[in-house]
Structure 1
């Protein structure tokens, strides 16, 4: 019944981005029975509620709409959700933001938390790498915008993504779906569900996606950035009585493509000495030339091995006990993550770095206990949450024969000897033990039939204990393998070869830790103006817990690690929001508007610092003083008849660093001699110039956020009979647009990404039992960047993460 409600309401709410029926097998019946009074049921506030009655900005997308539009992971979901941003150069380097906030941009670090919580069947997924995998048998996705700290907690300062998969059914059912397309795209999905006994039901779901890469690597004669995903999910539902249900679920997900590489995008002039910038460095290798200076030729020459093996899985046990006046819920889960990467860190076809591999193993354990009470005047949710995470990374980095010329100053005679930096090996041992405990509560006081006041609170305790141990070994001038250390007492400290190697990378060891209590709270006031108009206002004080830097830190002049920057302060968020949810035209049309204003103190951001006395740039996390994000979101949908439905959603987001005086400088202001006190830095892009130690980016854009973002679409259908089968033919169109945005931690003239729009079409025929359609995505073959990145060393080379080109294919689905 809930599935039917989800379908029939899709056309009258903007939050179910609806372009196809919720499920094809009931299409005809659903169209005839559609009742404007039907409601979308969501669990955004940890209980089943009508979407239009909750005073929260929530976007909902149904599983069938996801399938119809080819939205099979969160990356694709951004084309339907204007205020959701997703950036990924590989599964570990993945960031999800809502309204422009959530995670520091462009830096991987296990010691900090995301600001957008991902929950699947009420289980918290700490590793955002799960977002790059395919959805498996999804019922619906709820995107909660704004802080959700009192009910979801665990650092949901920007919002939460709540994914619900299809539950086991006590009626036999199943479906199968196959898609084929260009680039050798092959995708198959299947699920089957039914009773095993009178009170025990099971469901098994499988998904597989395979696609050739879209970038050709001339160095290895392979197509890279491919897709190779498989997912399996099983669940058992036991209902020993009408009051108790217990669901045991397990899943396994594997992503193992030839991936990931970012091709040459452009070169910009920095303040590094001219003979140490990209053009001069590549000229040191006669005959070397990048395959193409046009990134949209989709060519690269990366010479190191590439891999992105991403394996996730876990088990969960959820018990729900109806106690009459309320429901007691327990969610117990274990999840694991195995990450097996291989990267080309120099982003060229030269053997500068031959290995940059940091495989990671994680285990996490969670336990949540909630009681949701319902009464005429007072509803509330009380709960407790425990989380423990263990991460172990054992990585390796190795330089090659081109490293001496590329990394050493040409004034150093050793730069002309390939043996000096060839074979420097850094073996990294990185560990994190992460504990989080919380107690929370949320009350809905129905003062009158129209007025509801809802306060909430959450108390958190977080503790992180880490270890960073990088042991660097190189070859000394006497051909012996020696430790590269900052310790002047080491016998090879003054050896010229090991001194040159130390300037590139040296051993480092430290054990950072963090622990703290914090309190999140909010107050929401909702007023039902009429049955079809809800007005609300919210204030929230939220926190994102502090963290620790686990990718190394800068060294002090004496060579010891700068432990003062090993710890990252918590973020403090003050959030204000007002909203209006309306339905009209006999509820055939919906218009919802939200205004928000978010101020963040000690915003966790990426910074870069020179290692004293060397040419090494060390990236780490620190805190920007103040950030502000404010804007307006509007969503409209209409279904004037059972044959036509349409929607449009838009967002205006004003975003800036209110105060960030010691930010990393963009590449055009970096790489030169560091300015002494009172010394005036050189103009942008002055080779060999004077660079500021850091830059004041107050008033500048946050990275990754467009000022304007829209999504829109429509579907039209007509009754039709084909080969004697009655059904309907349909034509669908969906599109999205985002304006210019910055793709660097500090805005750079080299990394702004121009606005672009994407257009998708589909046409098909469906009956109660099958659906067959053809589709074209990015129909006008728009060339666009998903992100641009400044490569290590400040040589001026900018690499690109390219969006998909035009893809096309067909899909056939059967249900039984």
Structure 2
């Protein structure tokens, strides 16, 4: 039973969190009013069009958000883009750093992992990384969709740009994604030989080394033919922010070796093929959580008490089986053939796989109360064919996409502390869930210019997803791991599920928009788009516990139809309406983007769990997942981003002062949320990983400066990012994060020829502690189907990075 002191600790934490939430409301109102006033006069995105008369503006950037090259300021979509040089200036190290820059976006390191990504855009995402759950936000590397979140937290090196598209995607490319997409675009090769070396050193023993090369094997000839090779290798190492006080391992450390190799061949100026391979090896120690509850172990004499640790990055997690490891690799080939002035054919084929072994200690104690060793093994093959048309008034794309993917998740749930209460020697719930996806779709999107200033677009996508699951859930009533994790070879005592099932889901998703450009400086648009996320089977389902769902008098223990229906969940859909205004004023000195959106979110997939009494003694000794389409919601909000060149030539030729800003606001509320009791609990359900306000503000000063006898430009900047109160789950929890401000600063110098770069960056300079993920098996809300597991009371948190300072030198040869 849970101890009274545990409840007191929990109630105290909840009181502090709730008070922080209430006191932040007045600040939110003032912040929103201030940011809206300023950004309407001087806002803009991070990447902008440049007028030749304004040297202080950023270079004009071309994005491919609509599968054709366009200026970011002309694209009638809610999209942010950041060049590799800009990300260097900001000190961005991986995709989670993009979160602060982009409105209504959450990109976080998943709980108890180092390189698994949790992504949410405009309230839509997927927090659970196990197989069977499809991502709500698509992550792409050079147009290749990553089907699973493992190894998707990409480090930023040798990158050309990162694009963040908000809202449903699918009529233009790749996999349909219901919430948005993040596109990681690697640097393209050119005809100039070059090698670069970038070295970074910083606090916590940080040592990063990145080497890149570009080698033209055959210079471009008169017909446009060429052959180029290039690549990058990166080693990133950092000591832990804390320590594991039980096994001596570091906690939150980093040890990653990664690389890419590219061969780019142009037969002539009409045909080219690019082959790229990449790999990542993550040998970091396991990231274990910080326990928020004290615990006294009465099973030993004398009793041992484990108080809450002072350092939030320290842990007492005892599990280290299997050893933490992540290996990911992939290869892709992109071929383009310009058949004529109007038609271009493009084909993208790719294979990827990754394997993760990880020890997850939910209770973060030396005892074996809720220990979960896990393995993720993912494979995918994708093929995409596109026909692009660019005429005088009509342009667009038609394409075909195919995905064949398999995700295997294997894990134990060891509950040895619970076993004595059940008169058992040990207790282990083993799960093996192998989910395969075969998906094909056809899509198209075309734009027609009605006049020189008005154009209309229409598109659609038809998708067919076939999902199959091979699920085995068993229990062992003897101590130790299952045979899959090195335990003794023995038969399970109870079979909770032994299911093979498949289902097919189809959908048609339309999109339409109208764009008006009253002048070259202004773009206004209105759009409608529909998003779709396929159904599947819950990978933790206890199929044998299914009730009699078809009314034939037989329950799930003997009725396979009941088991399939119990474990299956249906697709979810979203309808999004958006209006936007993009402008570039004062010769490119003032740029701003404004988007207003409204979404109706239906049949929302809600993961839940129920207790299972396998031996029918009245005690639920394990749990099973049951995902339902229990919710409907309404989401609306706004997104502003901007850049203002406040002053130029202030003291000397070339001096400039600029201000960059982003603001996101979202109102996300459930209209209906059916709990396990069958009642509507939408009045207490909340959206996870969706702060109502996100903001970013950066002031940057640049001036010419000579260093070591070389001409160049110096830059100094300071920035703040803000996130309002954030729920970690779909219910109020003591792990919810109150509003948080983070302060960063940077100083850099770049030689005029670009061959030498020096910089120093400080991140989270105020050393704020803020929660990004966690496990809560204390907050018992039966309506949500949660079951308290473990006797110690599991309330475990994972935190964002503390204060870091690092310096970088980059040299080109």
Deviates further, 292-301 or 565-574: 292-301
What is residue 812 of structure 2 aligned with on the other side? 815
| 3-state secondary structure, aligned to 2:152 | helix
1:435 to 429, 435, 438: 438
What is residue 719 of structure 1 aligned with on the other side? 704
Equivalent residue runs for 1:227-238 within 5 Å: 227-238=254-265
Does residue 328 (structure 1) correspond to residue 312 (structure 2)? The answer is no
Distance, in Å, in 2 between the alignment partners of 1:325 and 1:538 is 26
What is residue 739 of structure 2 aligned with on the other side? 755
Does residue 652 (structure 1) correspond to residue 631 (structure 2)? The answer is no
Distance, in Å, in 2 between the alignment partners of 1:394 and 1:661 is 30
> Where do 5+ consecutive residues of structure 2 fail to align?
1-41, 220-225, 480-487, 548-554, 649-653, 778-787
Equivalent residue runs for 1:476-625 within 5 Å: 483-485=491-493, 507-553=496-542, 555-556=545-546, 560=557, 562-612=563-613, 613-615=618-620, 616-625=622-631
Does residue 243 (structure 1) correspond to residue 270 (structure 2)? The answer is yes
Distance, in Å, in 2 between the alignment partners of 1:472 and 1:388 is 32
- Aligned CA distance change for structure 1 residues 101 and 384 (closer, same or farther; 3 Å): same
2:228 to 201, 207, 217: 201
Does residue 214 (structure 1) correspond to residue 214 (structure 2)? The answer is no
What is residue 709 of structure 1 aligned with on the other side? 694
Distance, in Å, in 2 between the alignment partners of 1:399 and 1:813 is 51
Does residue 122 (structure 1) correspond to residue 143 (structure 2)? The answer is yes
Structure 1 position 115, deviation (Å) = 1.3
Does residue 366 (structure 1) correspond to residue 382 (structure 2)? The answer is yes
Deviates further, 72-81 or 375-384: 72-81
Deviates further, 157-166 or 36-45: 36-45
What is residue 465 of structure 2 aligned with on the other side? 462
Distance, in Å, in 2 between the alignment partners of 1:649 and 1:289 is 50
Deviates further, 607-616 or 758-767: 607-616
Distance, in Å, in 1 between the alignment partners of 2:364 and 2:228 is 51
2:315 to 300, 322, 332: 300
Does residue 801 (structure 1) correspond to residue 785 (structure 2)? The answer is no
What is residue 746 of structure 1 aligned with on the other side? 731
Structure 1 position 540, deviation (Å) = 1.1
Deviates further, 424-433 or 768-777: 424-433
Structure 1 position 523, deviation (Å) = 0.5
| 3-state secondary structure, aligned to 1:47 | coil
Distance, in Å, in 2 between the alignment partners of 1:559 and 1:459 is 34
Does residue 375 (structure 1) correspond to residue 376 (structure 2)? The answer is no
TM-score w.r.t. the length of structure 1 is 0.83
- The answer to whether the 8 A contact 2:446-2:458 is kept is yes
Supply the RMSD in Å over aligned alpha carbons.
2.7
- Aligned CA distance change for structure 1 residues 253 and 298 (closer, same or farther; 3 Å): closer
Distance, in Å, in 1 between the alignment partners of 2:307 and 2:506 is 53
Distance, in Å, in 2 between the alignment partners of 1:288 and 1:34 is 70
Distance, in Å, in 2 between the alignment partners of 1:481 and 1:443 is 60
Distance, in Å, in 2 between the alignment partners of 1:157 and 1:292 is 43
Does residue 42 (structure 1) correspond to residue 63 (structure 2)? The answer is yes
Does residue 317 (structure 1) correspond to residue 333 (structure 2)? The answer is yes
| 3-state secondary structure, aligned to 2:397 | strand
Distance, in Å, in 2 between the alignment partners of 1:389 and 1:289 is 48
What is residue 342 of structure 1 aligned with on the other side? 359
What is residue 736 of structure 1 aligned with on the other side? 721
- The answer to whether the 8 A contact 1:353-1:403 is kept is no
Equivalent residue runs for 1:85-234 within 5 Å: 85-87=106-108, 88-89=110-111, 90=113, 94-103=117-126, 105=127, 107-152=128-173, 154-198=175-219, 199-234=226-261
- The answer to whether the 8 A contact 1:427-1:471 is kept is yes
Distance, in Å, in 1 between the alignment partners of 2:151 and 2:634 is 29
TM-score w.r.t. the length of structure 2 is 0.83
Structure 1 position 182, deviation (Å) = 1.0
- Aligned CA distance change for structure 1 residues 92 and 431 (closer, same or farther; 3 Å): farther
- Aligned CA distance change for structure 1 residues 729 and 32 (closer, same or farther; 3 Å): farther
CA distances 1:422-459 after superposition (whole Å, capped 9, x unpaired): 3x455543222210001111010100011110000111
| 3-state secondary structure, aligned to 1:79 | helix
- The answer to whether the 8 A contact 1:256-1:310 is kept is yes
CA distances 1:73-95 after superposition (whole Å, capped 9, x unpaired): 21121121132112311158642
Does residue 15 (structure 1) correspond to residue 38 (structure 2)? The answer is no
- Aligned CA distance change for structure 1 residues 751 and 399 (closer, same or farther; 3 Å): closer
CA distances 1:389-418 after superposition (whole Å, capped 9, x unpaired): 123344445454x4435xx3xxx6x3xxxx
Deviates further, 307-316 or 552-561: 552-561
- Aligned CA distance change for structure 1 residues 204 and 13 (closer, same or farther; 3 Å): farther
| 3-state secondary structure, aligned to 2:73 | helix
What is residue 634 of structure 1 aligned with on the other side? 640
- Aligned CA distance change for structure 1 residues 556 and 123 (closer, same or farther; 3 Å): closer
- Aligned CA distance change for structure 1 residues 693 and 800 (closer, same or farther; 3 Å): farther
Distance, in Å, in 2 between the alignment partners of 1:256 and 1:403 is 33
CA distances 1:763-797 after superposition (whole Å, capped 9, x unpaired): 23321321112221101111111123204517543
| 3-state secondary structure, aligned to 2:324 | strand
Does residue 772 (structure 1) correspond to residue 785 (structure 2)? The answer is no
| 3-state secondary structure, aligned to 2:717 | strand
Q: How many residues align?
A: 717
- Aligned CA distance change for structure 1 residues 287 and 208 (closer, same or farther; 3 Å): farther
| 3-state secondary structure, aligned to 1:511 | strand
Distance, in Å, in 2 between the alignment partners of 1:645 and 1:179 is 27
Distance, in Å, in 1 between the alignment partners of 2:493 and 2:131 is 25
What is residue 771 of structure 2 aligned with on the other side? 785
Distance, in Å, in 2 between the alignment partners of 1:566 and 1:165 is 40
- The answer to whether the 8 A contact 1:328-1:372 is kept is yes
What is residue 386 of structure 1 aligned with on the other side? 402
Distance, in Å, in 2 between the alignment partners of 1:201 and 1:740 is 49
Structure 1 position 287, deviation (Å) = 5.4
- Aligned CA distance change for structure 1 residues 167 and 440 (closer, same or farther; 3 Å): same
1:697 to 682, 685, 688: 682
- The answer to whether the 8 A contact 1:233-1:250 is kept is yes
Deviates further, 632-641 or 449-458: 632-641
| 3-state secondary structure, aligned to 1:293 | coil
- Aligned CA distance change for structure 1 residues 784 and 634 (closer, same or farther; 3 Å): same
- Aligned CA distance change for structure 1 residues 14 and 174 (closer, same or farther; 3 Å): farther
- The answer to whether the 8 A contact 2:129-2:149 is kept is no
- Aligned CA distance change for structure 1 residues 286 and 79 (closer, same or farther; 3 Å): farther
